[in-house]
Amino acid sequence: VYKRQIKGLAEVLSVSPSTVNRWKAGGLLDEATYQNGKYVLFDVYGVLEILRVSNRKNKYNVKN
Give the pLDDT band (50/70/90) at residue 3. confident
Res 1 pLDDT > 80: no
Give residue 6's Cα distance to chain centre: 9
Looking at residue 34, its amino acid is: Y
* Cα 56 from Cα 37, distance rounded (Å): 33
**Is 33 within 8 Å of 42 (Cβ atoms)?**
yes
Query: CA 55, CA 28: separation in Å to the nearest integer?
Result: 12
- What is the pTM for the complete model shown? 0.79
- Residue 40's H or E segment, with its range, is strand 39-43
pLDDT in tens, 26-58: 999 999 999 888 889 999 999 999 999 887 766
C-beta of residue 47 within 8 angstroms of C-beta of residue 36: no
